Chains A and B, each alone.
Chain A
């Protein structure tokens, strides 16, 4: 059988299949089941910059502003309840997962401004995170923000987070960069150790009855995988960063494709949310059998075999292929 053990960000993983950042963080039993099913590591859902700030300020506005405003009611909650609306509960969750799961636990931070929140990275490390996944989730809506401005800001965030911690930092990106390889070079220079490609925008849908936007989360399908494969294949050997594929992995073959494109690990979320923790066992089993049938002894042999550097028809990854398809269609 193919040896599935691998190293990711300097951590020894027994499998490249990793539980990606998701609501599963809150479900210890499901996470335990995933680990029992062979998961190599667990990524927690993100500690959100906006969430932290918004909830703190909401508490300040809706609870603290009610203090000392009335002769009869000094306040409306017990004084001992000036609770921290910050990273506290996340850190306790992290500690719990660390104590209950015998695979590496990777904490996740999500933010776009290099302000005061990056100190949470240190808190995550202190609470036992073995690595930090930094999710750069940025939406450009201001016409005066150029791509260069946004990218510069993002690289500053990476730098700020890396400076806070001694554990490795991976960076999760969106697919929407004009010059992904160049940006990735910047990420590497900023001190990151890995890349996670890509985050999925939870794009709102429209509710035509109510003439409003809806926030239903749509799970991924493996139709989203090729975008990732393309990016990983193009970056393989062109960056010193280790890569993870995230999004669209629903079967063993999907995972194998990610590895062949050049991924070190493969994150799974939607399959677990849809089918439960058993899905992880199934994907592992399928991938393992496939790799074995393909004759790989180790993952390292398989990694990047169909990347831009190594594929027999590598030009298919490139622009030329696009032109032919169009002609063929015509």
Chain B
């Protein structure tokens, strides 16, 4: 028996890969990893079971992947795919086809919530339940072991039955859980998978040698019969699955049934469920049975075709109360799907007399969006079943104070075996905590007899993220499919966590607590808050400390503390002898990083070796001595909603909020990121007013709006904090007489250093001292926080006073601030600039991706409001439909405008003439004076309407704001614009609507982790292009230009903000569709983003990223519509490419191929340059506006 320690995704992919020839995928969380593994193995030429290397193709969407799957099946190939959530929904039409054609096919779903009022990447079964009518068999697995095994069983049974199989495992909980499992070897798979089924599948392939037609259109006379003709296949399926499961048991010793019952043989109370929750129920039932309770759990493996007879066989006759649990919600249904199936089966059996009693049946929902499902909840359900009148429909895991469906749960209940060691680790995203914990699990799983489990929780921030690792080890198999609530070991890898949330909440009595803090051991106790001390004292914890950052720094690893902390864990957890543990850690470092290079290994090993000498025990006194409490998570002056709801979400206590706290329709306030002080920078930029030249480049480039500049009336600074320095504004004549200041937001800065990088002002005697310089946070935090509070409240000067040029624009109030984007993000400055130009008149339709996560992932949002309360309004629909969403917004809004104007016309006879004319003249969204005048006129209109009787006056008052024009912008990444959303984008452009589309082009799928898109340039290494992309980047701009009526620009803010600001304003002023393609440096490019301005300049100068603007209005001026803003090629393509790891890694691995691709990229740039130069030189006759017949126009000439 061979044990492997791996996660559910890898376990599934490993089997599916070996049993497939063609794999068509599209990335989607949490299933992306399965496709990535397949791609990696294919790139490494790992063969499948029959010695072929499977072909992995990444498609433009899941709809595309499903189409490719369908085609490959028709060609006779063995096929698989991996997806989740909306991805599965996009596949549905093809799934009906594939099942309708009885094609043997097994796909794997990491089950994930379908977006409703909000997107969620987490687990429930709402996605697979939408597929229950497709004709696919639905197989559910509940653990990593089961996921692997049911993958094999699924692939085998589909070949035997011709019914396609959808196997699902719970997203994150199973897909990302690392577990020690018994691995399936090739020989076992060979014995399981029927050769005859494979041959038969191939024999049915489409071939002109034996032509057939499929996919016909059928009329009422034929369709129905054909559908009914498939019945025998579904009727036979349960038997076939059972026989495969039996064969599997013979081969491996692990037995599965369609329904697996666990519990008391004469159970009176039983729960039925599927997925990972069944493991928790299994564990709880065993515990309850040991206490003498007559309870049981029935695990559903096969949900479709629903085998009622097997269900009834498996369910003890003794059952009196039955709870069926669904991990999905179908609003308005009689019950959720599993409840309905079970209830139907029981009713039928009872009505036919096959079952003598009908147990009392109730249905419950649990675990939506990965809400925890714990033994306490299972017990609560069993308790409810004991009640005289249990709730017929209930929820568990939420506190429902609105419809009162929820069950009470004993939060303190802990049934875990004491032999199972439990450890919790709080880490920073970039400090390597999760990586080293994964390594620890592998060490313990593969080098000892212990069972091991690891589950990892990430917040949704892309900079300064918090990770929590839950590790269990023990002598018994681990079924605890829920987070650790009582940990014997708690490690806090960053000192700021102690101040941010209750990290010691889950420390068990007698726990060992390990802190990484920069303080001397003898000062640690006194620096802890009352709350931290209280937990340590009350739970009689042992406290250990280490300055791991110092150890790592000395070993040359900067802040990467993970190996240091890993050593301390092994030293304190006492699972392995210390020396052995340290040797295993070193071996794991050598294995993981050996290929990266000896220096990386040497430094990590050095850190390992110096760790223990720096680990100190701190005695825990008998009583709390601190007087300082943990600071409040949000300031006292935060709005009520932020205090009541956001604060708990920020403290990690959102689970405790009741249903009534939440808006039922997904509507949330903006302007909340200002209350989420994350304090993640070690150094922040500090302004030197004497050197500053007031160029505002720092404010222009800051990815987090953490450094801003402002002008204000000099007397506005009365009462300012002492350190609040200001200088007269000297750079812009329009702003003469005003004062100026640059302000850092110390708790919001991520320390990326871009502001200092672009600062052009230098101290002439010491040029390394600039007008802003990175200085230690701790020295400046308090002062700058006070300054910021004052700065934010300084009254802004009227917007029309600030010139709209690239140097002055950053002085406009940003309405996008403090996002959770990556440190150094190249996307966010574009969004902020857009909000500065248009934020108070802006509707945003945002495609799913990075920009929807940092833009709209709870707990807070970076979009905010100006002092008038106006600001961007934002919505994210899906990944693929942002352009359509925006188009709909535009069209819908236009209808309201039309109605408002219609009403205005009706009221015209009574309206003062001046007011009417103020409300009807031209008013462009970028004409600030006109906008201000129009708003003022609307206020006058409302005042006037207040005295007018009738419903129409009320209606006009409610629509009057629409007499001020609005901008609709669509924002998304290249995955949206070039791939999945291209059809919609194209249609929106073609529509001619006044709609602006901003493509934040990182040239790769950033949010899901670096998969290639059609924006990926030649030569770049990306997932699904691991040998370097061979084809040219799609020229999206040129495609848009081909319409002739679309304003198109390609921009690069970090290096050419002047052109950027021109393009954005031209696009906005253009009465029609506009497409802006924005170069967005990204961590997926693999270099230090502090150099992104220089690197972006190389991109522009090499023509990897030409700058241009295509303005159809220019034709009327007798000019070519296209103007090139970068004409010459100033650096070679190679000089550009060698600076980024995505290109460089290919050079290191395959220099010849790299050279070829550099040459190809050079040629591509050359061709594009030659074409564009010609386009920029063409002359088009100005259009004869109003002439519909071009020939007639010619006759007039």
Contacts and interface: CB of A to CB of B under 8 A. Distances in A.
Interface in B660-708: none
Interface string B22-55: 0000000110110011011001100000000000
Contacts of B593: 60, 64, 82
Interface in A58-94: 58-86, 88-89, 92-93
A68 B1009 contact: no
Contact of A75 (B429, B602, B1010, B1141): B1010
Interface residues of A, number: 43
Given A73-B1006, A77-B1021, A56 B596 contact: yes
Given A71-B458, A76-B1084, A79-B40, A84 B1148 contact: yes
B599 A53 contact: yes
Contacts of A85: 596-597, 1148
A66 to B, nearest CB: 6
B767 A211 contact: yes
B1021 A60 contact: no
Interface string A86-127: 101100110000000000000000000000110100000000
Contacts of B1006: 73, 76
Given A77-B1021, A77-B1145, A116-B602, A83 B595 contact: yes
B595 A84 contact: yes
A212 interface: yes
Nearest to B1151: A89
Contacts of B558: 61
Interface residues of B, number: 65
B43 A80 contact: yes
Interface in B1081-1123: 1083-1084, 1086-1088
B656 to A, nearest CB: 22
Contacts of A52: 597, 599
A57 interface: yes
Interface string B733-749: 00000000000000000
B596 A74 contact: no
B442 interface: no
Contacts of B399: none
Nearest to A78: B1026
A62 B435 contact: no
Nearest to A79: B40
A82 B36 contact: no
A211 B430 contact: no
B1010 A56 contact: no
A75 B597 contact: no
A80 B36 contact: no
B643 interface: no
Interface in B426-482: 429-432, 434-435, 438, 456, 458, 460, 462, 465, 467
B1148 A88 contact: yes
Contacts of A67: 435
A289 B209 CA distance: 77
Given A62-B1141, A77-B1021, A80-B40, A56 B1088 contact: no
B560 interface: yes
Contacts of A56: 596-600
A69 B434 contact: yes
Contacts of B40: 78-80
> Which of A68, A75, A83, A86 has most chain B Cβ within 10 Å?
A68
Given A57-B556, A86-B597, A69 B430 contact: yes
B764 interface: yes
Contact of A82 (B429, B431, B595, B1023): B595
Nearest to B1009: A73
Interface string B796-808: 0000000000000
A93 B596 contact: no
A68 B434 contact: yes
B597 A65 contact: no
Interface string B593-619: 101111110110000000000000000
Contacts, number: 161
A157 to B, nearest CB: 17
B458 A69 contact: yes
Contacts of A76: 1004, 1006, 1009-1010, 1083-1084, 1086
A62 B1083 contact: yes
B1010 A73 contact: yes
Interface in B624-658: none
A125 to B, nearest CB: 17
A84 B596 contact: yes
Contacts of B1083: 62, 66, 76
Nearest to B1140: A62
B1007 interface: yes
A309 to B, nearest CB: 45
B1148 A89 contact: yes
Contacts of A116: 598-599, 602
Contact of B172 (A71, A75, A86, A89): A71
Given A62-B1088, A89-B1147, A212-B767, A69 B600 contact: no
B597 A74 contact: no
Contacts of A117: 598-599
A4 to B, nearest CB: 33
Nearest to B33: A74
Nearest to A49: B599
Nearest to B42: A80
Nearest to B1008: A72
Contacts of A60: 557, 560, 593, 596, 600
A297 to B, nearest CB: 44
A69 B432 CA distance: 8
Contacts of A82: 592-593, 595-596
B598 A86 contact: yes
Contacts of A92: 1151
Given A56-B597, A60-B593, A70-B429, A80 B1026 contact: yes
A329 B557 CA distance: 58
Contact of B600 (A57, A70, A78): A57
B785 interface: no
Contact of A78 (B30, B556, B1021, B1151): B1021
A77 to B, nearest CB: 6
Contact of A65 (B43, B432, B456): B432
A89 B1151 CA distance: 8
A73 B1083 CA distance: 12
B41 to A, nearest CB: 8
B1162 to A, nearest CB: 16
A57 B557 CA distance: 8
B125 to A, nearest CB: 19
B121 interface: yes
B1142 interface: yes
A61 B36 contact: no
B600 A71 contact: no
Contacts of A62: 1083, 1086-1088, 1141
A225 to B, nearest CB: 32
A49 to B, nearest CB: 9
A66 B1010 CA distance: 11
A251 B454 CA distance: 69
A136 to B, nearest CB: 20
Contacts of A88: 1148
A118 B184 CA distance: 44
A71 B1148 CA distance: 29
A74 B1086 CA distance: 15
Interface in B996-1032: 1004, 1006-1010, 1021-1023, 1026
18 contacts: A58-B1087, A59-B1141, A60-B593, A64-B600, A68-B432, A70-B465, A71-B29, A71-B30, A71-B458, A73-B1006, A76-B1009, A76-B1084, A77-B1022, A77-B1023, A77-B1141, A78-B1026, A86-B598, A116-B602
Given A70-B1009, A84-B596, 11 more contacts: A59-B597, A60-B560, A60-B593, A69-B429, A72-B32, A73-B1010, A82-B592, A83-B596, A86-B597, A89-B1151, A117-B599
The 5 closest A-B pairs by CB, nearest first: A73-B1009, A69-B429, A56-B597, A76-B1010, A68-B434
